[in-house]
């Protein structure tokens, strides 16, 4: 029986099908040993379809036959399947952008017959945890989620209208001119941990949206599908990215189970 695995830089995602129901599981890379037990408890004679940057590392610890699968291909195939299976309101356009916000961020173009990786950035879920830790000393994922939602870091940034003080700006004055650029406010005000984390969330959200929207413009598509565990339980980040994507005239979609795209795509590989 086939088991699909996407071993990423932070989390290992497992996809397995019983009858017509998916069993989906995430295991931190730090607990890699638990993958073997998870599979042993469920599957007889597994064949592992494996993808992701840690595929080779994980493969060595598993006693079963494995087939390596290209990460980008698995991800895009998985997205296409999950859209049809779980996203009923989907408009099902022929072409769309996939923005995968994992430890880092990868951007793909999906056409009717083809997929292509078209860009990426080091600004991702790892940045959220790492920069939050550096600024506050907090590294528990759940705490970072909660504090980011409670805080308000907008005055740590410079807006366009803060620069164009005495004249009409040539673009919307409410746009961010510089994330974390407001040194004056930093010197004069007292900020709490939650405000720093909120500003990190906003910076990541705005940057990822800008990259995705520019890519969508360049490739003539209106639809952006956001996936990756960084969105897991992170409604605040989804609001920032969803709202900002719409503001820029594109249609955002946060795919249900999107973080399992790579594992599902690997599972389905013939």
Residue ranges that bind Mg ion, judged by CB under 5 A: 8, 102
Write down the least CB distance from residue 43 to ligand ATP, Å: 22
Indicate if 71 belongs to the active site.
Answer: yes
Backbone angles phi and psi of 51, in degrees to 5: -140, 175
Q: Taking CB positions, which residue lies at the least distance from ligand ATP?
A: 8
Shortest gap between Cβ of 161 and ligand ATP (angstroms)?
31
Residue 87 touches which of Mg ion, ligand ATP, none (Cβ within 5-8 Å per kind) = none
φ, ψ of residue 21 to 5 degrees: the values are -100, 135
Cβ-based neighbours of 96, under 8 Å, separated by 6 or more: 110, 221, 223, 224, 225
Query: What whole-number distance in Å separates Cα of residue 259 and Cα of residue 26?
Result: 9
Select 124 or 159, whichever has its Cβ closest to ligand ATP: 124
List residues near ligand ATP by CB under 6 A: 8-11, 28, 53, 102-104, 125-126, 128-129, 141, 228-230, 232, 259
Residue 69 or 129: which CB sits closer to ligand ATP? 129
Rg (CA), the chain: 20
Number of Cβ within 10 Å of residue 4's Cβ equals: 27
Cβ 181 to Mg ion shortest distance, Å:
31
* Binding partner of residue 195 among ligand ATP, Mg ion, none, CB cut-off 5 to 8 Å per kind: none
Please tell me which residue in 21, 41, 71, 167 is annotated as part of the active site.
71
Q: What's the CA gap between 193 and 167, in Å, rounded? A: 35
Cβ-based nearer residue to Mg ion, 78 or 102: 102
Q: How far is the CB of 44 from ligand ATP (least distance, A)?
A: 28
CA–CA separation, 99 vs 78, rounded Å? 13
Instruction: Please enumerate in sequence order all residues whose Cβ is within 8 A of that of 38, keeping only pairs 6 or more positions apart, or say none.
Output: 14, 25, 27
Q: In whole angstroms, what is the distance from residue 126 CA to residue 208 CA?
A: 13
In the bound state with ligand ATP, the residue whose beta carbon lies nearer, of 158 and 211, is 211
Q: Which is nearer to Mg ion, 156 or 224 (CB)?
A: 224
Query: From Mg ion, ligand ATP, none, which one binds at residue 120 (CB under 5 to 8 Å depending on kind)?
Result: none
Q: What does 130 interact with, of Mg ion, ligand ATP, none (CB < 5 to 8 A by kind)? A: none
Placement of tokens 């007889």 in the chain = 44
Q: Tokens for 189, please give them.
A: 């005000």
Nearest to 165 by CA among 154, 177, 153: 177
| Size of the chain in residues | 270
* Cβ 65 to ligand ATP shortest distance, Å: 23
Which residues are known to be catalytic?
Answer: 71
């Amino acid at each position: 029986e086939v088991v699909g695995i996407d071993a990423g830089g932070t989390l290992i995602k497992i996809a397995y099908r019983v009858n017509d129901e998916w069993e989906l599981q995430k295991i931190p890379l730090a607990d890699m040993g638990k993958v073997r037990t998870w599979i042993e408890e469920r599957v007889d004679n597994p064949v592992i379809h494996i993808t992701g940057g840690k595929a080779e590392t994980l493969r060595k610890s598993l006693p079963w036959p494995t087939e390596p699968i290209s990460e980008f291909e698995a991800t895009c195939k998985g997205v296409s399947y999950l859209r049809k299976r779980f996203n009923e309101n989907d408009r099902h356009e022929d072409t769309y952008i996939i923005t995968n916000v994992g430890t880092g961020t990868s951007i793909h173009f999906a056409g009717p017959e083809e997929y292509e990786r078209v860009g990426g950035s080091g600004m991702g879920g790892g940045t959220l945890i790492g920069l939050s830790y550096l600024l506050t000393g907090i590294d528990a994922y759940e705490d970072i989620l909660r504090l980011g939602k409670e805080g308000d870091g907008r005055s740590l940034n410079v807006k366009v209208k803060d620069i164009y003080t005495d004249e009409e700006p040539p673009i919307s004055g409410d746009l961010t001119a510089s994330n974390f650029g407001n040194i004056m406010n930093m010197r004069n005000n007292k900020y709490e941990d939650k405000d720093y984390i909120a500003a990190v969330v906003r910076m990541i959200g705005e940057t990822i949206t800008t990259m995705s929207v520019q890519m969508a413009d360049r490739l003539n598509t209106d639809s952006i599908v956001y996936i990756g565990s960084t969105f897991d339980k992170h409604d605040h980040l989804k609001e920032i990215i969803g709202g900002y994507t719409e503001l820029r005239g594109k249609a955002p979609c946060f795919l249900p189970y999107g973080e399992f795209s790579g594992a599902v795509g690997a599972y389905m590989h013939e």
